[in-house]
Structures are given as C-alpha cells and as structure tokens.
Structure 1
Amino acid sequence: MTRAWFGKQSHQYITLAMRVLQLASAVLALGFIAGGFDGKDEVIPAPDGDGKKKMLVVTMHFGGPTVNFAMIVTYSAAIYAMLWIAFVYATTRVRVPAHFSVALDSILTVMLLSAGCAVAASDYVRYCSALTPYVHCSSLKAGVAFCFLAFVAFLISVAWGLWILRERLADTKKAQRPQVTSGASTTDQIDVLECSPSSDASNAYHNAAFVC
C-alpha cells in the first residue's frame, strides 16, 4: 500500500530526489554566499569611565540587505527541505497535502529567483575584483549559481506537484463516475428504432435485430 500523500510508490522516490537536490543546493548556496566575505578588524578608541581612552577592536564584514536576504532565503529553503525529508518521508505519521506543498514550493521558488538575481546584480559581484581580499569572487559567484540551481529544483517540484494534483483529480472523477452494467449480451439487446401505429405491414419496419 502506497502512502496517501503521493498515490504511487514511484512518486515518492522522485519527490525525495527533488527534496535532496533542494537541500544540497540551498546549503551550498548559503555556505558559498556566507563564505564570500572576510572580516576586517578596525581599532576604535572608546572613552573609559576614568577618562582614559580604551581601544576596541571591531570586526567588520561586507554585506547589506541583498546579501542578508539571500542568506535568509537559502537558509529557509534548506530548513524546509530538511524538515520535509526528516518528518514527511522518514515517518509515516506526517502527511502534507499536495496543494499545501505546491503553495510553499511556489513561494520559495519566487524568493530564490529574486535572491539569485539580487546577488548577481549587486556591486559585490560586478566590482568584486576591486574589493579583494575582503570579497571572494569565486565563492560569491558559486553561491549565486547554487541559488539558481535551488530555484530550478523548486520550480521542478512545483510542476511535479501540479501534475500529481491533476492525476488525483482525474482519478477522483473516474471513481465518482457511475458504472452501468447490463446482464444482457450484445446479441440479446433489442433497440427500437421506429414504431408505427398503423397495423399495415407495409408501414412497419421489421428486422431480426430491430423489432417494432
């Protein structure tokens, strides 16, 4: 007996493969984007309570709203895929409705596309060589590539989920269709084509298979 949230055993393995691809690409995108920036130590003088100046060392990192948005999106995608694998596939007690899964996948698809485009169009990528050694160009570009790979994986998952919903709807309509059965064979069936009220034999149509 297959699980109710897919309907077929093969569907489970295909969906699991897509979730693993989503998890791997999202984790790699998050790691490469986060590792694309090095910290820079800055010494800042700070007044002490006794009137003496105290030197503080502050570690600064390049970044901004674009990078933070990409990291949040890839982190959310990785957590979602990991929870799906851990609780939905590994256990039989958790069932996710197909329309709910398609909705979440659609949201993450749009967000991953936005994050990938935002980072790819940012100054950190366009002027990466001028920001060396605080920005690693290869790491940041790899993060963008894996972000787009995660987007493609979630887009395929959306298309797959819509196909599953379509198949379920077709099966439901087929199951609800009334079944008409007849005990008579085709040779015993009698169809009346024309009945004439006249008693004249010339006005009535007689045939071995059609009787009026």
Structure 2
Amino acid sequence: TLLAKAVATESGANFIAVRGPEILSKWVGESERAIRKIFERARQAAPAVVFFDEIDAIAPARGARFDTSGVTDRIVNQMLAEMDGIQPLSNVVVIGATNRPDILDPALLRPGRFDRLIYVPPPDKEARKEIFKIHTKKVPLGEDVDLEKLAEMTEGYTGADIEAAVREAVMAKLREKLEVGKVEMRHFLEALKKVPPSLTKEDILRYERLAKELKKLTLG
C-alpha cells in the first residue's frame, strides 16, 4: 500500500485505494457496478492510480468456484472489460497487491493488464533495523535496548509484525507498573515470544518461486 501511495505521490497523480473484500456484495450486479464506478472515477480524475489491495479476494481464476454464486467470475470479466475494453483507459495506472498470486485469474496477467510483476520481499536485517527505529521513535528506550540485535532476531518478520512487537513491548512495560517508563530489552524479548514472525523460510522460498513462475508467464 505504501509503495502504491509513493507511486501516486511521485507522479502527482490522484490516488484511489480499494480493498478487494469491500467490492463483494450479496446483491446480484452490485459488485460489477462497484468496479465500473471505480474506473469511472479514475477516468474523471486522470491522471490517477487505482490500487486494489487484496485483489485475490475479487479476482481468483474463473471457473475455480471460490464462491458458489459466481460473483468473482463476473468481477474478473468486468475488470477485463474496464482495463482493455472499448472505452480507453488513458492516464490511469492500475496496481494490485496480493499475497496469493497463484490463485489470480491468468487473463489479468497478460500484456495490457497487470503486465508488470514486482515481488516485494520481506525486510532484510538493515530494513528491519530501520523499521524498529521508526516504531520506537516516540518510545522511551532503556540503555540496554539493542536495535541491531533485535533486527538480527526478527528474520521473517514483516513491517506489521515489527510494529506489533514494539506495541507488545510497551504493553509489557505497562503491565509491570501502570506508569510510563523506559522500555527495556527484556520487554522486547518478552514481546517477541508473543508476536511470532508471519513468514517462515519455506514461505519466503515459495513466494520467490511463485514470483519467478509468474514473471515467466507475463513475459511469455
């Protein structure tokens, strides 16, 4: 989401953010209508960036029947019609984010649609250290707090995981004494026990493999 916002800001374009699950409706035709309205807004506000977060919720492979009503099939059809249909989509960039690229409808990954695949890996050690710095900026830290060591200990943690760990460390301090004080290293170590990493090494390898396979698909 932050990357998509950065694209819009740097390009000076209007930013339209859409969470995939919000599109789904139990009423027949409402989901397709929502997609039409989004692209209509984008055309009117061009230049614009349309960002679909959790796009896998609304655009899984057609015929796979992830839902019994077939609404996702109709949403995919509507998206395809909007992205390269009769009405041109000028000065509008469409970006989608997903952690399940393997279930997306293949037609969306063809040229002229989502034809650029960018794999965003989990933060490395240096990035994790910077994320800790950001989330502890307003947290009074004890002298024994070693962000370098915490960065080493948090392999597989996403930015959200690190934010949750910092929040949990602050709560651990407050649970000791109901007063504001310095958060010490032991509070962070306690927090890491309660906030595990979202990603395992196997998960990361799987995503890297998927990225390579899908890149071949889009280039082919």
TM-score when scaled to structure 2?
A: 0.26
TM-score when scaled to structure 1?
A: 0.27
- Higher-Rg structure is 1
More helix by share: 1
